[in-house]
Amino acid sequence: MLGEELGAGDGVSRPRGAAAALADRVATLRASASGADGAVLVTVASSGNVTELELDERSLGLGAPGLATEILRTIRRAQSALAGEVADAVEATVGTSTETGKAVLDSFTQRFPAPAEADEPAAPVMPARAPFPSFSTVPSLPHQAPGNGFESGRDSRAR
């Protein structure tokens, strides 16, 4: 009786086929996003890796730090759009209420959360690098005379 319920024509073969169909669809998914009014276009694969990056002439006006920031924001938007595409694929194959569907959706929404659209960029994790120290001719100790330390022909540290 248990064998009859789990026969080849019953519910077992269909979910396996649906899961395989979901895996095939997810493997071929791509998502794109644009930023800086179309000056930056990013396409990501189903893994979230960047497969295409297009920069318009207008992107040169952003400057190096602004361009880097805009590229990263656009990558996050494309990855977030990828999570939406996966949700559509899950709904069309295994359904969002199945364990497989929930697991796949949770995986993509955790890896690629929706980007926070804030006017102010988030604070960096690491503080900015300290500027390179400059070596001026100002004495470091009050009793030293300004100069290179060899005014008298001998090392001034030997006093």
Q: Are 30 and 44 in contact (CB under 8 A)?
A: yes
Looking at residue 9, what DSSP letter applies?
T
pLDDT band at 137 (very low <50, low <70, confident <90, very high): low
Q: Measured between alpha carbons, how far is 53 from 42 in angstroms, rounded to an integer? A: 5
Query: What are the structure tokens assigned to 8, written together?
Result: 């080849």
Q: Which CATH superfamily is domain 15-111 in?
A: Nucleoid-associated protein YbaB-like domain (3.30.1310.10)
Q: Where are the domains of the chain?
A: 15-111
* Ordered DSSP codes for 75-122: HHHHHHHHHHHHHHHHHHTT-TTSHHHHHHHHHHHHHSPPPP--SSPP
- 61-100 confidence digits (pLDDT tens): 888 888 999 999 999 999 988 988 888 888 888 888 888 8
Is residue 132 scored above 90 in pLDDT? no
pLDDT tens sequence across 6-48: 334 444 444 568 788 888 888 888 999 998 888 899 999 989 8
0.85 exceeded by the pTM? no
